[in-house]
Amino acid sequence: MSAQATFAQLARDGGRAALVTVIEGPHAGEHLLVRAEGEPEGGLGSAALEQRALEAAGELMWAERSERREELFIDVVAPPPRLLIFGAVEYANHLSHLARVNGWRAYVIDPRAQFATVERFPDALEVVVAWPGEAIERLGGIDRATYIAVLTHDPKIDDQVLRLALAAEPAYIGAMGSKRAQAARRERLLAAGIPESELERISAPIGLDLGAVDAEGVAVSIMAEVLAVRHGHAGGRLSQRSAGAGPIH
């Protein structure tokens, strides 16, 4: 199967990959398929071109963006973004619904079988009854396109999730909790050996400042922050956005 045919199949199957095509010069028309995992397929006829292609593909397939880089065009396919929601709580029900509406894959994770049921979370792609380590392993680990929302308020669950998340490179880590709860969690993680600089990767309290107090509104604030992070924005008001800052919608 050619690199182009394999790329098309990966797109149909919801895989993550980049097809690099030389679009000008003596090697025009050559293709290199770069997967998220595994060896590249094809070739560009030049070791220097292939090195540049691998670097660009590795960047863009996780940014989920196709782009021209000089004489190379990098075409990217990726599965819908994945949101791991820890805590089978009411917020998780509304958040998984918003994730589905926005085309995301939401997973609700909680070791408490009496709460983590399909009936309570009908919009989740999967409800996983397991402790964080087992659940993450079952779901294929944490990659650079994984977004994590910790909603449990239970240190036994929260701390385990956050340690695992900080040991990986997820796109986003958010954790719920009051200022007191955040301070206590911070002290526990520091005591567990997590460097203080790493704790800055946690968005806590989770969500944008929308003034929401009910579960539905809080879920909107969380989903809004997640979407802003995915698109590289801070999440401010459009009416206050400076002119020339790029497309609005």
Report pLDDT for 242: 63
CA of 3: how far to CAs of 21, 99, 168, in Å?
10, 33, 30
**For the chain, which ranges sit under pLDDT 70?**
238-249
Token reading at 220: 């909107």
Handedness of CA 191, 195, 197, 200 (dihedral sign): negative
User: 193: which 2 tokens?
Assistant: 């050996």
Q: So what's the pLDDT on residue 3?
A: 87
Query: What CATH class is the domain 82-230?
Result: alpha beta
CA distance 200 to 119: 36
The candidate with the shortest Cα–Cα distance to 158, out of 196, 179, 186, is 186
Of the chain, the end-to-end C-alpha distance in Å amounts to 39
Angle between helices 179-191 and 155-166 (to 10 degrees): 60
> CB–CB of 64/185 below 8 Å?
no
- pLDDT at position 184: 92
CB 144 within 8 Å of CB 62: yes
- Residue 82's φ and ψ, nearest 5 degrees, are -115, 130
Bridge partners, 21 (sequence order): 31, 73
Digit-coded pLDDT (tens) for 181-237: 889 999 999 999 999 999 999 998 999 999 888 999 999 999 999 999 998 888 877
Q: How far is residue 144's CA from residue 58's CA, in Å, rounded to a whole number?
A: 11
Q: Which two tokens stand for residue 155?
A: 């240190």
Write the CB contacts of 154 (distance below 8 Å, at least 6 apart in sequence). 87
Domain range annotation of the chain: 7-77, 82-230
- The size of the chain, in residues, is 249
- Ramachandran class of 177: left when φ > 0, alpha when ψ lies in -120 to 50, beta otherwise: left
DSSP code for 240: G
pLDDT at 120: 96
